């Protein structure tokens, strides 16, 4: 099982190095893309008519695809958030793009657009509080979540209430000026998405006072995934692994932050 994980995910770490030079290999028309996203929303909400605050889950490179990695952490997050009274929806950019996580290069701008699209969908639903839509993202999804806070030639920034990002991977990320509170977790042993890389980006963010960065000692990339060993070295040489203490502390921060 460990060998299967290394073979699959080692490619992602190699692919991540290429992100800054590769152009998107898939780009649907906006309406077609939105329809593909909607087919995989997997929306879950508390009983009743609401309106409820909402959370968009934006996964790491492996996405929600159980063939590549078990999706326990996303299911657990959904269950916990629902118990707290949140509607939860998935931003399944891999399924929408009809690509396999570790087998394809995903262009960050495409995923940022997806986050904006799902935000607009949620704001149009009667069971959602339009001013209480949040993002909870991991790794590659975390980098894209911050990209979604920037304005482009084709869209406005995502209208979200807050962003929570576990060890955001910042390929092609740009500084943002939208006044949105953010909570960021990183491990001090993370060589895939180092804390220093995010802090360097923050130096250019006008609203950095609204961003809280929490560093966890002796923690690697993917430290919150209990389905991993405590330490695994990928074929690309990157070390990742689960840290129960850090994962527990981080989730407590998530609940406190979203319920503020």
Which CATH number does the domain housing residue 13 bear? 3.40.50.1820
- 181 to 127, 148, 149, 165: CA distances (angstroms): 23, 14, 11, 11
Q: Strand 211-216's sheet: what is its strand order?
A: 87-90, 52-58, 128-138, 162-166, 182-187, 211-216
The whole-number pLDDT of residue 90 equals 94
Range of 28's domain?
A: 2-258
Q: Which of 117, 107, 101, 179 is nearest to 144 (CA)?
A: 107
The whole-number pLDDT of residue 70 equals 55
Query: For residues 51 and 46, what is the distance between their CA atoms, to the nearest angstrom?
Result: 10
Query: For residues 137 and 165, what is the distance between their CA atoms, to the nearest angstrom?
Result: 5
Lookup result for tokens 């399924």: 95
The whole-number pLDDT of residue 73 equals 84
The whole-number pLDDT of residue 228 equals 87
109's tokens: 């701008």
pLDDT in tens, the chain (260 residues): 444 343 434 433 333 433 333 334 344 567 888 888 888 899 999 999 989 999 999 998 878 876 545 567 899 999 999 999 999 999 988 887 777 655 555 666 788 999 999 999 999 999 999 999 999 999 989 999 999 999 988 899 999 999 999 999 887 678 998 999 999 999 999 999 999 999 999 999 999 999 999 999 999 999 999 988 999 886 567 899 999 999 999 999 999 999 98
Domain count for the chain, please give it: 1
């Amino acid at each position: 099982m460990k060998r299967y994980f290394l073979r699959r995910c080692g490619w992602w770490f190699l692919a991540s190095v290429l992100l800054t030079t590769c152009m998107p290999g898939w780009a649907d028309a906006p309406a077609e893309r939105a329809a593909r996203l909607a087919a995989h929303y997997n929306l879950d909400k508390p009983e009743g008519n609401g309106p409820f605050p909402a959370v968009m889950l934006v996964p790491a490179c492996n996405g929600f695809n159980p063939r590549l990695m078990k999706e326990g952490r996303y299911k657990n997050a959904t269950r916990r958030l629902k118990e707290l009274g949140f509607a939860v929806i998935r931003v399944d950019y891999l399924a929408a793009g009809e690509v396999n996580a570790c087998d394809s290069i995903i262009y960050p701008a495409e995923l940022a657009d997806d986050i904006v699209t799902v935000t607009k969908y949620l704001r149009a639903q009667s069971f959602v509080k339009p001013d209480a839509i949040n993002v909870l993202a991991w790794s590659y999804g975390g980098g894209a979540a911050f990209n979604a806070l920037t304005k482009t030639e084709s869209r406005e920034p995502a209208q979200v209430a807050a962003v929570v990002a576990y060890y955001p991977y910042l390929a092609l990320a740009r500084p943002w000026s939208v006044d949105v509170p953010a909570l960021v977790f990183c491990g001090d042993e993370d060589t895939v998405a180092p804390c220093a890389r995010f802090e360097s980006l923050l130096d250019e963010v006008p609203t950095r006072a609204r961003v809280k960065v929490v560093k966890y000692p002796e923690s690697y990339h993917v430290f919150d995934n209990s389905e991993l060993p405590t330490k695994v070295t990928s074929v690309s040489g990157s070390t990742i692994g689960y840290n129960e203490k850090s994962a527990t502390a981080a989730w407590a921060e998530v609940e406190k932050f979203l319920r503020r």
